[in-house]
Amino acid sequence: KNCVKKESTAFQLYLMIRRGTSTPKKPAVTMDSEQEMTTIVQDTLIDEDTSQCDDNSSTNSGRAVLLTNPPPEDDLAPAPSSDDISESKNNQDGEGKKDENLTIEERYENGRNAAKLKHWHDSPYAVGFTEPTWEDELSRRGKNDEESSRGCCADDIDPTCGCMYVSGIVCSRLGAGRIGNMAVLKERSVLVEEEVEEDDVENGDGQTSKKTVRRVYKNQLEIVVGPFWPFMLFITYPLIFGVSGLTAVKAIPGKHPILIAVWAGCTFGLIYALFSVGCRDPGIMTRHRRPLHTSWRWNDQAQTYRPRGASYDQDCACVIEEFDHTCPWTGTAIGKKNMCAFKSFLVLVFLLLIWDIILLTE
- DSSP E strands in the chain: the ranges are 177-179, 182-197, 201-203, 206-208, 211-225, 297-299, 304-306, 311-313, 318-320, 325-327, 332-334
At position 362, the amino acid (one-letter code) is E
First to last CA, the chain: 130
Hey, what long-range contacts does 211-218 have (CB within 8 A, 24 or more apart)?
Answer: 215/191, 216/191, 216/192, 217/189, 217/190, 217/191, 217/192, 218/189, 218/190, 218/192
* Contact call for residues 168 and 141 (beta carbons, < 8 A): yes
Q: Nearest to residue 107, comparing CAs of 99, 119, 118, 115?
A: 99
Question: What is the chain's pLDDT, residue by residue, as a tens digit (362 residues)?
Answer: 455 444 455 556 555 655 555 444 444 444 444 444 445 445 544 444 444 444 444 444 444 333 444 444 333 334 444 555 455 555 555 555 455 677 877 787 788 888 888 888 888 999 999 988 898 888 877 664 444 444 444 444 465 678 888 898 999 999 999 999 999 999 888 877 776 666 555 555 555 556 677 777 778 899 999 999 999 999 999 999 999 999 999 999 988 999 999 999 999 999 999 999 999 999 999 999 889 888 999 999 999 999 999 999 999 999 999 999 999 999 999 999 999 999 999 999 999 999 999 999 88
CA distances from 74 to 11, 18, 19, 78 (A): 18, 12, 11, 8
Report the alpha-carbon distance of residue 184 to residue 202 in Å, rounded: 45
* Contact call for residues 320 and 310 (beta carbons, < 8 A): yes
Q: Nearest to residue 228, comparing CAs of 316, 163, 184?
A: 163
Residues 6+ apart with CB under 8 A from 88: 80
Our separate counts of H helices and E strands in the chain read: 13, 11
Report the alpha-carbon distance of residue 228 to residue 317 in Å, rounded: 13
